[in-house]
């Protein structure tokens, strides 16, 4: 029977002739990666469970979140990983290497048709070369290191056709933002997507990486590009091998749906602060006065991105009072940019050039902003608090560079002769809201803890009627260096407006009830473990972010898929959940609500206390 690209890759790596959406299979992993902040927890999990590394030759550390080691916790965790690596012969791409997913592409750790997992939630960037990449939590990665494989539910595949041609002023980032505008934060939730059409086929590797890196922000498992000749040549050179063959979809493959996105005449696009999917045409926000600009990240840190920025900046100066920060994605690209004169352009314009690595969305790297600061960023995330405490607009390298010169949001075709300056007596413009206003503190109730590992639980509820609650709202990135479970609880919902005091009021056995796409964003395990630390009895959501769902199941945190939040359930109400039957009994009124019954893998993982239990 014909299969999609994703199905063919998962079938070949699970010893199956074919797989179908919804099936759960054990998938062999070709490259297993841990980053600097997640790596220490991976090591801790292995040591605590007496597990060894199955194949050091397929196992790697990549230090890209805090290459400077400027934070003591990061420095400590990096050194723990180095010591573990030395003892077991694991290769470390240390602080001088760059972003791990880009290193994987350029150093041949992954290739078309291969499988790749990392503690990086944007590991699905590997879809740019037609590989299956996934971000996972530290327990998942520890299991992959110990056993060489992990369980995975085969996702349904959506066929996405890019129709028409954008304008000459549009870059791949603008196309990626257009897709975000089309699908929203969860329009591809839990799905793989195959990108096709004339525009997609003509894209170079850098452009494919840019678009693939936005998959997580659409809720997708990954966006896959069928590899063309240029990508195949790049990967053959990187791997030094020719024993692999690229994977393409079979004729007649079954897709859950097909969608067309019209790019005809597309111009520069911008995502407004707080929500990557809140995308508008640049014209809607043109003229917004800015404080800083960031160019880099796993989305736009390739040489082609730097070259585009240099084209705009050549012969120009950054506006007075505006700060421009540039971070190449890998050391090799950093060296190329320096050799070919891009750094001269950047320095002459007044920019700060950092060592290769992640962008400001990683708290330990260049690119963070301060309270009230307005930033234009080429990254993929602008959640409130993600890149600091200011506002972040997402845009292409061309718009970012032009805005740094103008002093306000604009494009290269509309840079004024003189920049807009700050005025000491100017009244700041109204800030755009980055989320809902703070809600009243929920009332207290009485917790009803269940028995040890019960499959039926009773508890009072806390209702958060909000979709797309991301992992930065649940557990902010400034706390990522925490590895002790007992220290995580106080930070639960610490960056969710109106719920900052949740940890002080919630009790053991309480149940969180919320909307769609809960846990969107990064792969951080702490966003799950903070609820375990508080003894939360269950989290009920309309749907979960794909990585978050895996992390919760593997950590034995009870999560339940149900539309309960859309009903008249109130804070403090008691409910009883039967995980196996998929029912929720409301004590108030006695009604019963349908939930998704747990699959066997979730039941067994929960009963043994987690994936590594």
What is the tens place of the pLDDT at every residue in 9-55?
999 999 999 999 999 999 999 999 999 878 999 999 999 999 999 99
Backbone angles phi, psi at 233, to 5 degrees: -65, -40
- pLDDT band for 452, please (50, 70, 90 cuts): low
- pTM confidence score: 0.86
| Span 546-567, pLDDT tens digits | 999 999 999 999 999 999 999 9
Mean pLDDT of 434-448: 31
Q: Nearest 5°: CA angle at 138, between 73 and 600?
A: 155
What are the structural domains, with CATH classification, of the chain?
A: 5-262 (3.30.499.10), 269-414 (3.30.499.10), 456-607 (3.20.19.10)
Give residues with Cβ within 8 angstroms of 43, minimum separation 6: 34, 80, 81, 84
Cα–Cα dist 270/279, whole Å? 5
Cα–Cα dist 379/359, whole Å? 7
Q: Please check the confidence at residue 442 and state whether its pLDDT lies above 50.
A: no
Residue 424 pLDDT: 67
Mean pLDDT of 71-87: 90
Mean pLDDT of 464-481: 92
Q: Are 298 and 325 in contact (CB under 8 A)?
A: no
Residue 35 pLDDT: 92
Cα–Cα dist 25/265, whole Å? 43
Q: Please check the confidence at residue 432 and state whether its pLDDT lies above 60.
A: no
Give residues with Cβ within 8 angstroms of 325, minimum separation 6: 292, 293, 294, 295, 296, 351, 352, 354, 360, 366, 367
- pLDDT band for 427, please (50, 70, 90 cuts): very low
Least confident of 380-389, 464-473, 502-511: 380-389
Percent of the chain with pLDDT over 70: 95
Q: Nearest 5°: CA angle at 504, between 499 and 505?
A: 75
Q: Are 547 and 136 in contact (CB under 8 A)?
A: yes
Cα 62 to chain centroid distance, Å, stands at: 16
Q: What are the angstrom distances between the C-alpha of 542 and each of 36, 355, 364, 516, 595? A: 33, 41, 33, 5, 9
| Span 303-359, pLDDT tens digits | 999 999 999 999 999 999 999 999 999 999 999 999 999 999 999 999 999 999 988
Q: Which residue has the higher pLDDT, 495 or 428?
A: 495
> Mean pLDDT in the chain?
92
- pLDDT band for 363, please (50, 70, 90 cuts): low
Q: Please check the confidence at residue 410 and state whether its pLDDT lies above 50.
A: yes
Mean pLDDT of 176-187: 97
Q: Please check the confidence at residue 570 and state whether its pLDDT lies above 50.
A: yes
Residue 257 pLDDT: 97
Residue 425 pLDDT: 55
Residue 136 pLDDT: 94
Whose CA is closest to 175, among 187, 189, 165, 188?
165
Cα 601 to chain centroid distance, Å, stands at: 25
Q: Please check the confidence at residue 365 and state whether its pLDDT lies above 80.
A: no
Backbone angles phi, psi at 380, to 5 degrees: -115, -5
Give residues with Cβ within 8 angstroms of 100, minimum separation 6: 33, 35, 60, 62, 64, 93, 118, 120
Backbone angles phi, psi at 455, to 5 degrees: -95, -5
Residue 402 pLDDT: 98
| Span 138-165, pLDDT tens digits | 999 999 999 999 999 999 999 999 999 9
User: The tokens 């859309």 sit on which residue?
Assistant: 566
User: Reduced to 3 DSSP states, what percent helix, strand and coil does the chain have, rounded to the nearest 5?
Assistant: 30, 20, 50
Cα–Cα dist 214/247, whole Å? 22
- pLDDT band for 450, please (50, 70, 90 cuts): very low
Backbone angles phi, psi at 327, to 5 degrees: -130, 105
Least confident of 1-10, 423-432, 527-536: 423-432
Q: Please check the confidence at residue 599 and state whether its pLDDT lies above 90.
A: yes
The alpha-carbon radius of gyration of the chain (Å, integer) is 23
Residue 428 pLDDT: 41
Other residues' Cβ atoms within 10 Å of the Cβ of residue 174: 25
Cα–Cα dist 95/113, whole Å? 28
**Structure tokens of 441?**
């503190």
Mean pLDDT of 521-537: 94
Residue 32 pLDDT: 98
Residue 163 pLDDT: 97
| Span 257-296, pLDDT tens digits | 999 999 999 999 999 999 999 999 999 999 999 999 999 9
For the chain, the first-to-last Cα distance in angstroms comes to 37
């Amino acid at each position: 029977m014909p299969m999609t690209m994703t199905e063919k890759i998962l079938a070949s790596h699970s010893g199956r002739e074919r797989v179908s959406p919804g099936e759960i299979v054990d998938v062999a992993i070709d490259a297993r990666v841990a980053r600097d902040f997640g790596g220490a927890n991976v090591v801790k999990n292995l040591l605590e469970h007496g597990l060894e590394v199955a194949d050091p030759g397929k196992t790697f550390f990549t230090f890209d979140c805090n290459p400077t080691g400027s934070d003591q916790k990061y420095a400590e965790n990096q050194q723990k990983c180095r010591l573990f690596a030395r003892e077991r012969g694991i290769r470390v791409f240390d602080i001088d290497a760059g972003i791990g997913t880009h290193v994987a592409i350029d150093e041949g750790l992954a290739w078309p048709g291969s499988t790749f997992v990392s503690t990086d939630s944007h590991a699905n960037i590997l879809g740019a070369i037609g590989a299956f990449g996934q971000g996972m939590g530290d327990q998942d990665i520890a299991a992959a290191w110990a056993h060489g494989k992990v369980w995975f539910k085969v996702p349904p595949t959506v066929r996405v056709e890019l129709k028409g041609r954008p304008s000459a002023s549009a870059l791949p980032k603008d196309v990626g933002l257009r897709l975000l505008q089309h699908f929203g934060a969860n329009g591809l939730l839990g799905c793989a997507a195959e990108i096709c059409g004339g525009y997609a086929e003509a894209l170079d590797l850098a452009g494919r990486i840019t678009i693939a890196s936005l998959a997580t922000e659409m809720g997708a498992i990954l966006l896959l590009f069928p590899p063309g000749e240029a990508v195949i040549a790049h990967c053959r050179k990187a791997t030094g091998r020719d024993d692999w063959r690229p994977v393409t979809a079979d004729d007649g493959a079954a897709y859950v749906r097909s969608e067309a996105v019209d790019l005809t005449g597309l111009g520069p696009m911008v995502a407004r602060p707080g929500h990557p999917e809140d995308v508008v045409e640049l014209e809607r926000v043109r003229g917004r006065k800015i404080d800083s600009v960031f160019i880099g990240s796993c989305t736009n840190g390739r040489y082609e991105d730097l070259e585009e920025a240099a084209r705009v900046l050549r012969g120009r100066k950054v506006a007075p009072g505006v700060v421009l920060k540039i971070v190449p994605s890998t050391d090799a690209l950093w060296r190329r940019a320096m050799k070919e004169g891009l750094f001269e352009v950047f320095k002459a314009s007044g920019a700060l050039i950092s060592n290769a690595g992640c962008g400001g969305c990683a708290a330990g790297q260049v690119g963070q902003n301060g309270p009230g600061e307005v930033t234009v960023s080429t990254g993929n995330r602008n959640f409130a608090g993600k890149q600091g405490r200011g506002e972040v607009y997402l845009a292409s390298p061309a718009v970012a560079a032009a805005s740094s010169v103008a002093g306000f949001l604009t494009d290269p075709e509309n840079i004024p002769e003189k920049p807009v300056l700050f005025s000491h007596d100017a009244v700041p413009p109204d800030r755009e809201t980055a989320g809902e206003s703070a809600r009243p503190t929920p009332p207290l109730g009485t917790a009803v803890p269940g028995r040890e590992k019960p499959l039926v639980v009773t508890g009072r509820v806390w209702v958060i009627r909000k979709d797309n609650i991301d992992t930065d709202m649940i557990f902010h990135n400034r706390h990522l260096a925490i590895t002790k479970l007992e220290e995580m609880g106080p930070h639960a919902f610490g960056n969710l407006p109106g719920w900052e005091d949740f940890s002080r009021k919630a009790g053991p056995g309480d149940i969180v009830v919320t909307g769609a796409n809960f846990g969107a964003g990064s792969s951080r395990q702490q966003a799950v473990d903070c609820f375990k630390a508080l003894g939360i009895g269950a989290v009920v959501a309309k749907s979960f972010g794909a990585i978050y769902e895996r992390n919760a199941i593997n950590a034995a945190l009870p999560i339940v898929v149900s539309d309960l939040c859309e009903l008249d359930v109130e804070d403090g109400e008691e409910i009883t959940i039967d995980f196996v039957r998929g029912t929720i009994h409301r004590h108030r009124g006695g009604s019963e609500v349908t939930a998704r019954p747990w699959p066997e893998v979730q039941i067994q993982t929960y009963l043994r206390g987690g994936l590594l239990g």
